[in-house]
């Protein structure tokens, strides 16, 4: 809980920096606070907070997912100076809202009780509704905020209805008591209905088909750095909460819901990859790409073993790093060209080679090309699921192969332009180049030496 308090206080200080017209300092305040929180996450928990363990337990798994979320958010904050250059009057609010949203994510990593899960989801989501619409002069941004809010409220209704059913049958909100009840009463209809309703709600939060309808419009309409935040940090929080809820709380009735997830994986991979191929806008293509990755990650539910949580963390970290690498390139192009079509990237490889290489390596990692972290992430999850669900793994492999086609469209535009090259007098900042080099090195290093992930995060 010490990490949660540090992140919360950092958000408060960043917010008040704007009150005193020091909005530019908010980014540095946020980075400093996140570095302190990252350090504290390695320290033993304070005994005082032990009294809350029935509701909030910051154990080893919660610490792991908190660490990777903090690392990704630090990288996004480094990109914020250029990305938020048009938001000078309220930069502090945007940084603070991202930190508040991370607070919700930390609660979701640590929940032991369904009430805590609900609070975590709402604390994560409410700042996102504001962030999605923070580009107030853009109608797409306004539309994204409204759609996200309405669909989020709808999903919250599913969650609360499911919690009511689970509580009504088991008599408890505690995750482990629910687990015990599921083993003792695996055929209770009300309990099963509650579990499925909660599954649907978390499927919405992770943008898993057919509950993905909001994500392409929201991701495209939101400011690009906010899109990157939703595709990485928010995805990490939502999916780990989903994984924890289903594999601990509802293990006793796994036969009732595992086939539903299997069908949803097939729908997700088919729709996302086909729609990704049909896009002419790179940002919208990345939105469908994000949906497809939920399908790959969801194979973690099949063939679960002692390494499942580690494999999940590795995949989410690799995917989030790649997201930062691609989105930083998109942020730069969008600022200068005011569009995100494939043509907007024409010739970028010649004028800004470091940025283009970072985007290329990131896209290759997303596609699962060998010697990248994305390949190792997919391989570990596919290898885990191959015995229990060979057909789903085959679908995932075919989907992954199909995704290469739309990722290559961006790469081809950057290095082999058909039209005029990318021309601008403005050069990429040193900060962007440093982040680009870090992303490239991290993705390749983790692809060749995956054990570095365990060593760096204290596992």
- Domain ranges (residues) in the chain: 2-456
Model confidence over 223-251: pLDDT tens digits?
888 999 999 999 999 999 999 999 888 88
At residue 422, φ and ψ (nearest 5 deg) are -70, 110
Higher pLDDT, 346 or 101: 101
Residue 85 pLDDT level (bands cut at 50, 70, 90): low
Give pLDDT tens digits for 129-167.
Answer: 988 887 777 778 888 888 888 888 888 889 999 999 999
DSSP secondary structure string, 367-379? HT-TTSHHHHHHH
Render pLDDT for 255-306 as a digit per residue (tens, 0 to 9).
888 999 999 999 999 999 999 888 888 888 999 999 999 999 999 999 888 8
* Closest C-alpha among 266, 273, 298 to residue 404: 273
| Number of C-beta neighbours around residue 306 at 10 A | 6
Q: Which helix (H) or strand (E) holds 428?
A: none
Distance in angstroms (rounded) separating the CA atoms of residues 245 and 250: 7
Q: Is the dihedral of CA 187, 188, 191, 194 positive or negative?
A: positive
Residue 437 has pLDDT above 90, yes or no: yes
Higher pLDDT, 349 or 117: 117
pLDDT value of position 299: 92
Angle between helices 114-132 and 139-170 (to 10 degrees): 170
Percent of the chain with pLDDT over 90: 40
pTM value is 0.92
> How many residues make up the chain in this entry?
459
| Distance from C-alpha of 15 to C-alpha of 425, rounded to nearest angstrom | 34
Q: ∠97-98-104 over CA atoms, to 5°?
A: 90
Residue keyed to tokens 């604390």? 123
């Amino acid at each position: 809980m010490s990490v949660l308090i540090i992140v919360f206080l950092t958000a408060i200080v960043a917010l008040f920096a704007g009150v005193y017209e020091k909005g530019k300092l908010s980014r540095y305040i946020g980075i400093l606070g996140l570095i302190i929180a990252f350090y504290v996450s390695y320290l033993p928990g304070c005994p005082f907070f032990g009294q809350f363990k029935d509701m909030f337990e910051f154990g080893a798994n919660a610490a792991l997912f908190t660490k990777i979320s903090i690392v990704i958010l630090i990288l996004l904050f480094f990109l914020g100076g250029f990305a938020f250059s048009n938001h000078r009057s309220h930069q502090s609010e945007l940084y603070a809202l991202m930190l508040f949203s991370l607070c919700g994510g930390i609660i979701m990593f640590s929940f032991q009780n369904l009430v805590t899960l609900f609070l975590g989801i709402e604390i994560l989501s409410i700042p996102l509704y504001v962030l999605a619409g923070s580009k107030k002069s853009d109608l797409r941004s306004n539309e994204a905020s409204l759609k996200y809010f309405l669909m989020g409220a709808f999903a919250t209704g599913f969650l609360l209805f499911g919690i009511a059913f689970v509580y009504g049958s088991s008599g408890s909100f505690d995750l482990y008591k629910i687990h015990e009840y599921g083993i003792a009463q695996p055929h209770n209809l009300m309990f099963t209905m509650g579990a499925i309703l909660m599954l649907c709600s978390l499927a919405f939060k992770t943008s898993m088909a057919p509950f993905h309808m909001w994500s392409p419009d929201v991701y495209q309409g939101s400011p690009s750095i906010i899109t990157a935040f939703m595709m990485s940090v928010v995805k990490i929080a939502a999916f780990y909460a989903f994984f924890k809820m289903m594999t601990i709380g509802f293990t006793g009735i796994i036969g009732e819901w595992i086939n539903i997830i299997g069908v949803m994986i097939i729908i997700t991979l088919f729709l996302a990859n086909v729609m990704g191929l049909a896009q002419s806008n790179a940002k919208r293509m990345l939105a469908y790409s994000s949906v497809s990755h939920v399908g790959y990650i969801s194979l973690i539910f099949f063939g679960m073993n002692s390494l499942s949580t580690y494999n999940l963390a590795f995949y989410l970290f690799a995917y989030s790093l790649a997201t930062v690498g691609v989105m930083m390139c998109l942020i730069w192009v969008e600022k200068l060209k005011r569009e995100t079509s494939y043509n907007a990237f024409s010739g970028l490889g010649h004028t800004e080679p470091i940025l283009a290489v970072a985007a290329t390596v990131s896209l290759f990692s997303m596609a699962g090309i060998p010697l990248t972290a994305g390949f190792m992430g997919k391989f570990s999850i596919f290898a885990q699921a191959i015995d229990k669900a060979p057909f789903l793994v085959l679908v995932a492999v075919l989907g992954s192969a199909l995704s290469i086609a739309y990722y290559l469209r961006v790469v081809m535009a950057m290095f082999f332009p058909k039209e005029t090259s990318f021309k601008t007098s403005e050069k990429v900042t040193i900060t962007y180049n440093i982040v680009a080099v870090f992303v490239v090195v991290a993705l390749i290093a983790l692809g060749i030496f995956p054990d570095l992930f365990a060593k760096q995060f204290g596992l």
